[in-house]
Amino acid sequence: MQILAQLVDLHARRIYPAGISVENGRVKSIREIAGVPADAGYVLPGFVDAHVHIESSMLPPAEFARMAVAHGTVATVSDPHEIANVLGVSGVQFMLDDARRAPVKFCFGAPSCVPATGFETAGAVLDALAVEQLLQNPAIGYLSEMMNFPGVLHADPEVLAKIASARRLGKPVDGHAPGLRGDDARRYFAAGITTDHECFTFEEGLEKARLGVKILIREGSAARNFEALWPLLLEFPAQVMFCSDDKHPDDLLSGHIDRLVARAVAKGCPLFDTLRAACLNPVEHYRLPVGLLREGDPADFVRVADLTEFRVLETWINGFCVAADGQSRLPHQSCDTHNQFAALPKTPAEFHLASAHGTGIVRVIVARDGEIVTGAEEGRARLQDGLLLPYPAHDLLKIAVVNRYAPSVPPAIGFVRGFGMQRGALASSVAHDSHNIVAVGADDAALCAAVNAVIEARGGVSATDGAGDTRVLPLPIAGLMSPADGYELAHTYSRLDAWTKETLGCTLRAPFMALSFLALPVIPSLKMTDRGLFDVERFDFTEVELG
């Protein structure tokens, strides 16, 4: 088979008309020729997502692949940290097994922090021995994000043993150090950690890039750092990669790494440097078995209509066309479900929060649109009959986290601002990283209804108007993913997302994604776990009401 197109040669940094011969899944020959049709488009290496939690798409790997190939994605560097926190090693194995049913080249990591901290309840523990055993598996390509940066800085033996195992086996170690600067950053990366996808300011990214760190520019459904970090491409083209990290199904429907390429070129980033970040750098850093359009390489490439919008005409993996004209050619495949869900239904009274000091002045988590970093401020809750109540008119809602791994543990309760909801509640069993049930609501009855909808489904996302209309999207695979058709799931999720905005008044762009990060106690600055309100700056629990 021969493909005629303008060839974008990333190694020679030139574009020329070529005939690309493909045989037995590999590029047999590339010849510069004349007479390529004007509408033949441009062929370039396929796009790679350099860091993604497949679980956040609410789809198992094979179905994620089915949707991603339509946008030119041929490979991902995937951290199965989310399902590992629920199901441990068996969850990682589920991801490996399901991924084999799709042609996309998934590089899975060994989760380094399960649980992420000792300040929350997870469903599993992966110690240094379990991590080393995973790393010895040829299907595991790297040590996933080392988010326990205090453990690195204080030379925690368990943490250092995990890093040492990866380095001994010659596998890269991913970083996770939001806001870490100065001497602490130097010490953290000197431990053998090579990347960071958590930079949220240009200054932070610049400092880390100067240390030799590979900077992953992230643009997901919640965390959106492209606008802050894209100038790094101009100075450090060999050290930049693109990633989505967490991407909900509706966003995956509309685009993937292809959209970041188009945006970077529109900003004035050099074409070859941009494509290096999207195609070449992750393949070389993680030693992925992905072709880069050289003779003898696996035939993994995309054909795009132009080099401005990068509209994908075809995606090829191992010599097979897996998507054409924006449509995936991969079939939907059913899969088994695995879960761990022990929580029992709650009552509204369990969401009451008694005033400890009688002041009504409370610490408030501030959700920020487009960021997973939260703020921390003080607010005034309503006081009634000795209880602290939400104040929706002042954008002050309750937040609750319910332990999903035990039947009858009382919810942890606090306050949050930034959702803008005037009524009702949202709940989700996608709650990074331990994936307990997290909910925000305008009153206790609505909170209870939203949480119970998730419990009844044994995992999922839900919304209620507080007046009897409660909607739920079940996620029976670990409470994180659905076995449904990905395109149908994306539309169902979009309708639920729109309903939360139209009916409840939520003002966030991605309310369920924002909700899922409010329980993540390794990202500053104030979060809620199933054990209470957590001050990330102090790395300890704190009281809700001020005395």
Cis-peptide into 328, omega within 30 deg: no
> Is 95 a domain residue?
yes
Average pLDDT, the chain: 97
Residue 352 banded pLDDT, cuts 50, 70, 90: very high
Residues with Cβ within 8 Å of residue 429, at least 6 apart in sequence:
341, 404, 435, 436, 437, 454, 459, 460, 461, 475, 479, 480
pLDDT digits (tens, 9 = 90+) for 240-267: 999 999 999 999 999 999 999 999 999 9
Residue where a domain terminates, one of 253, 273, 290: 290
Query: Do 406 and 478 belong together in one domain?
Result: yes
Asked whether residue 67 is domain-assigned, the answer is yes
Q: Is residue 296 part of a domain?
A: no
- Residues found in the chain: 547
Where a domain ends, among 241, 274, 290? 290
State pLDDT tens for residues 428-478. Answer: 999 999 999 999 999 999 999 999 999 999 999 999 999 999 999 999 999
Beta strand residue intervals within 206-292, DSSP E = 214-218, 240-243
Indicate whether 227 belongs to any domain: yes
Beta bridge partners of 44: 302
What pLDDT band is residue 319 in, cutting at 50, 70 and 90?
very high
Q: What domain range includes position 191?
A: 47-290
Asked whether residue 251 is domain-assigned, the answer is yes
398 lies in the same domain as 273: no
- The DSSP element (H or E) to which 500 belongs, if any, is helix 486-502
Question: Judging by DSSP bridges, how do beta strands 2-9 and 42-45 pair with one another?
Answer: parallel
Q: Summarize pLDDT for 183-222 with one digit per residue, the tens.
A: 999 999 999 999 999 999 999 999 999 999 999 999 998 8
pLDDT at 399: 98
Q: Is 333 helix (H, G, I), strand (E, B) or coil?
A: coil
Q: What is the pLDDT averaged over residues 99-128?
A: 96
The partner residues of 306 in beta bridges, in order of sequence, read none
User: Would residue 333 count as lying in a domain?
Assistant: no
- Same domain assignment for residues 205 and 100: yes
Q: Is the pLDDT of residue 372 over 90?
A: no
Residue 369: predicted pLDDT: 87
pLDDT at res. 293: 97
Q: Rounded CA gap, 137 and 140, in Å? A: 6
Do 285 and 352 share a domain, yes or no? no
The candidate with the shortest Cα–Cα distance to 71, out of 247, 325, 417, 244, is 325
Strand partners, 175: 146
Q: Which pLDDT value is given to residue 313?
A: 98
The CA radius of gyration of the chain, in Å to the nearest whole number, is: 23
Is the same domain home to 370 and 284?
A: no
Q: How many domains does the chain have?
A: 2
**Both tokens assigned to 62:** 């094979």
Is residue 159 pLDDT above 90, yes or no? yes
Instruction: Check: CB of residue 272 under 8 Å from CB of residue 264.
Output: no
Tell me which amino acid residue 323 is.
Answer: A
Q: What is the pLDDT of residue 221?
A: 85
Whether 516 and 399 map to the same domain: the answer is yes
* pLDDT above 90: residue 38: no
> CA end-to-end span of the chain, whole Å?
75
Is 486 in contact with 63 (CB distance < 8 Å)?
yes
Q: What is the pTM of this model?
A: 0.95
- Are residue 274 and residue 393 in the same domain, yes or no? no
Specify the pLDDT at position 523: 86
Q: Contact at 8 Å (CB) between 504 and 421?
A: yes
Q: What percent of the chain has pLDDT over 70?
A: 100
Kindly state whether residues 352 and 277 are assigned to the same domain. no
